[in-house]
Structure 1
Amino acid sequence: MRALVLEEKLKLSLRDIDLPLDLGPRDVKIAIHTVGVCGSDVHYYTHGRIGPFVVNAPMVLGHEAAGTVVEIGAEVKSLKVGDRVCMEPGIPDLTSKASKLGIYNVDPSVTFWATPPVHGCLTPYVVFPEAFTYKLPENVSFAEGAMVEPFAIGMQAAAKARIVPGDTALVIGAGPIGIMVALAALAGGCSRVYVSDLVNEKLAIAGQYDGIVPVNIRETDLKARIAADTDDWGVDIVFEASGSPRAYDGIFNFVRPGGTIVFVGLPVEPIALDIVAASAKEVKMETVFRYANVFDRALSLIASGKVDLKPLITGVYSFEDSIAAFERAASGNPNDVKLQITLG
């Protein structure tokens, strides 16, 4: 099959590649319709690695996907041919200790689309387990279905924050994940969510949503703004979603005593963290790595209409123009949030 293949750092090809399509009894074969371009895909393209995950051989990109079931295994019960679906791209070992604890996202043996050496889904067909394939409601488009995966990260962050209705929050970073986190926090009960960034275009997109307060930190002192709005108390929750080392400098200034910081962004290099500042406020700290047990709930929120992700789709490319989509994503266009590639 043709696929978008990362041959090596900074080299993409749209070419034929042998990919397994053997259908097990509990698997479904899916015709891919829409695939989102994720920041991790772009990072593999531009850097050839993310932490310990290194591209040492050609790899098909893509892990945010929706499509149509075209064949089912003999024991599949919840899906049928013709169903429109989205897929949770990480497949754990269901017998592992992590899976039994309900934290299968950190199962060391998980296979995750487009994470070396596992191929992704930017190809016309994939075979995938029924257990991690979700039927799309009629009112959810393929484009929205392909957004469930990144929104699930926001859902994981909101769950880790243990939001109490009426909480206030700050999200550092107005990229795709930052905005997803802000929307999940609002859906989880936050009354107001500040989103900080350096780029006005991205802040303008975030500011379209009721309950989100965009703050450009080039123009506004974020600490002073938070202090003024909270009577010098601080927000209940801070979500760090930028991955920038600079974001950690003074991060404890924004959160109230006894509040929570959730680390979502992944810095490329190790960073310093002021543990004394955290201890002085007894700040609770949580981390996020992908997601577990939230994918279906993310889909349900989108289907309910309470979370509208359509404004975040800022460009759509055909499969034949996949390389151009990645080149645009790598260019850092300030008006872009989420680019998608359509195969259907």
Structure 2
Amino acid sequence: MKSLVLEKQDELSLRDFPIERQEETLGPRDVRIKLHTVGICGSDVHYYTHGRIGPFVVNEPMILGHEASGTVIETGAEVASLKVGDRVCMEPGIPDPNSRATRLGMYNVDPAVRFWATPPVHGILRPTCVHPEAFTFKLPDSVSFAEAAMVEPLAVGVHAATKAMIKPGDIAVVMGAGPIGLVTALSALAGGCARVYVTDLAEKKLQIAESLSPAITGVDAAKESIVEKIKADTDGWGCDVVFEATGSPKAAAQVFEPLAPGGCVVMIGGQPDPISYDAGAAMIREARVENIFRYAHVFPRCVAMLASGAIDVKPLITRTFSFDESVRAFEIAASAPPADVKMQIELPQ
């Protein structure tokens, strides 16, 4: 089937690509989905520009894409919760149901998880895919395909906010105003934060951040110290939570500086190399440090919040391309336009 294929580092093509029969076989608890909208994720772009993320290396052609929505076009014999015609979004990681991690409820850290567009597993920038019913979620009529394709990145933010154990009235700092930083800011507010400060170097992204809620304050890290800003606004006490969503070693080294005693740091941004932070600064605050890897058990919560209006991701979708423009879309995404947050690709219907 025609797919967006990463042939190797810096080389993309839109071509007919053979899908293994095993992957296309519909099991009794699977559904076949016609893809509608697929988001371009930073990891997709990183595989395109670097050919690898940590231990995951693109050694042979791979289909990209893992943030998706679509329509069920066929169901397995034992599928009970979905039917043909249902609009859905899909959680892209399929764990081993018998693994110890999965049995403990931590299926996202199962070493055997098969995650779309993570070598050697293909992604879903293609017309159809087969997916387990258990990781496919029906959409309410009020949630569009474009919003549904945002559930995957939103799940990262909701998982991070859950790990932070936010209390009503908390003050949070989100380092980074990219897609993950902004969905984390929205998730922190939905979790009960009274105010969220978002730092970045891109003025346009900070403007987008502030447009999301009057409770979000953008801070240009090149012009203003987030530490001084937080101290001034909290009578010198500090913020309750810091979310690191840049993946920058420089930012990661500063995570404790604006944090109040007893506060929490949540590490979200993927670090390509080992980093160091000030353990002494963490110690004197008795800070709690949480690390997240993707998400677990939050897709239904995300869909429910989009349906109710508790979270609005529409302002984050800044550009949409047709499937035939996929290669160009990735070239633009790789250039990191400062005015863009989330780019999406719509497949033919």
State how far apart, in whole Å, the 2-side matches of 1:249 and 1:274 are. 7
Post-superposition CA distance 1:11-39 (Å, at most 9, x none): 00101111131100000000000000000
Question: What is the TM-score of this pair, normalised by structure 2?
Answer: 0.98
Structure 1 gaps of 5+ residues are none
1:3 aligns with 2:3: yes
Tell me which amino acid in the other structure corresponds to 1:225: K
Tell me which amino acid in the other structure corresponds to 1:154: G
Aligned to 1:207: 210
Equivalent of 1:263 in 237, 258, 267: 267
Superposed, 1:329-340 pairs within 5 Å as 329-340=333-344
State how far apart, in whole Å, the 1-side matches of 2:64 and 2:203 are. 30
RMSD: 0.7
Question: Alignment partner of 1:251: what SS?
Answer: coil
State how far apart, in whole Å, the 2-side matches of 1:209 and 1:315 are. 17
State how far apart, in whole Å, the 2-side matches of 1:267 and 1:110 are. 20
State how far apart, in whole Å, the 2-side matches of 1:37 and 1:340 are. 6
Aligned to 2:60: 57
Task: Kindly state the Cα deviation for residue 151 of structure 1 after the two structures are TM-superposed.
Answer: 0.1
Aligned to 2:278: 274
Aligned to 1:304: 308
Question: Alignment partner of 2:264: what SS?
Answer: strand
Tell me which amino acid in the other structure corresponds to 1:163: I
State how far apart, in whole Å, the 2-side matches of 1:160 and 1:117 are. 30
Task: Kindly state the Cα deviation for residue 248 of structure 1 after the two structures are TM-superposed.
Answer: 2.1
Tell me which amino acid in the other structure corresponds to 2:185: A
Post-superposition CA distance 1:284-313 (Å, at most 9, x none): 000010000011101111111111100100
Equivalent of 1:252 in 251, 256, 259: 256
Task: Kindly state the Cα deviation for residue 191 of structure 1 after the two structures are TM-superposed.
Answer: 0.5
State how far apart, in whole Å, the 2-side matches of 1:107 and 1:250 are. 30
Aligned to 2:177: 174
Tell me which amino acid in the other structure corresponds to 1:191: A
State how far apart, in whole Å, the 2-side matches of 1:192 and 1:256 are. 15
Question: What is the TM-score of this pair, normalised by structure 1?
Answer: 0.99
Equivalent of 2:240 in 216, 236, 253: 236
Question: Alignment partner of 2:85: what SS?
Answer: coil
Task: Kindly state the Cα deviation for residue 251 of structure 1 after the two structures are TM-superposed.
Answer: 2.0
Task: Kindly state the Cα deviation for residue 221 of structure 1 after the two structures are TM-superposed.
Answer: 1.6
Superposed, 1:1-344 pairs within 5 Å as 1-19=1-19, 20-210=23-213, 211-343=215-347, 344=349
Tell me which amino acid in the other structure corresponds to 1:70: I
Task: Kindly state the Cα deviation for residue 329 of structure 1 after the two structures are TM-superposed.
Answer: 0.4
Task: Kindly state the Cα deviation for residue 280 of structure 1 after the two structures are TM-superposed.
Answer: 1.1
